Amino acid sequence: MYIDDRWLYDLETDLPPIKEYDLASQGAKKIREGTDITLVGNSHGTHLCMEAAKQLESQNIQCEVIDLRILNPLRIDVLFDSLKRTRNLCVMDEDWRNCGMAGEIIASVIESCPMGTLLTSPLRLTLPDAPAPTSKSLEQIYYLKVEEICQKIKMLLDCV
C-alpha cells in the first residue's frame, strides 16, 4: 500500500527511473550524515527533517536524517547504528500522537537499544490530536513548520 501525501505534490527532485522493488528487502535509509541528533521521518516528514537539518547546520548542529521508507515490515537497524553515534533522537510523524508511527519507533528504540544509549528522552513531533482543518489560516497553526521543529530540537539538545 502506498500512502499518498498531498504536501509532496509540488516538490521536484531528480528521481531514478521507476523499477520494481522487492519491498521485503527494503528498510530505513540514512540520507544525511550527522553527529548531534538523529532525525527520523517518513514521506513529507522526511522532507521536513531535511529542511530542519539544513537550518540547524548554520547553528553548528549536525543532524543525521533517517528516511523510514517502509513502515511494515519495520527494519530500523540503520536507526540503531545512528543512535550509537548521535545519542539523541527526534521522530517526526505528521499524524496524531496517539497510536502513531512515532510512538512505535520510540518504543522500538527503548526496547532494543541498551540502557544509556540516549542522553535525553526522545523527542516526538506530531500533529495535534484534533481533526485536520480545511481553512488555510487554521492549517498554518495545525501543521508542523520547520522553524518550530528546529526550536524544539534546540531545546532538546540544550538539556544534554
Domain 25-158 listed as CATH 3.40.50.920: yes
* CB environment 81-93: b (16+ within 10 A), e (fewer): ebbeebbbbbbbb
Name the band, by pLDDT with cuts 50, 70 and 90, for residue 160.
confident
> Structural domain boundaries of the chain?
25-158
Query: Which residues pair with residue 41 across a beta bridge?
Result: 67
pLDDT score of 17 more than 80 = no
Predicted structure pTM score: 0.87
**Residues 33-59: pLDDT tens digits?**
999 999 999 999 999 999 999 999 999
Q: What value does the mean pLDDT take over residues 13-40?
A: 85
Q: Which of 49, 139, 62 is nearest to 93 (CA)?
A: 49
Q: How confident is the model over 125-156, as pLDDT tens digits?
A: 999 999 999 999 999 999 999 999 999 999 99
Q: What is the DSSP letter of 41?
A: E
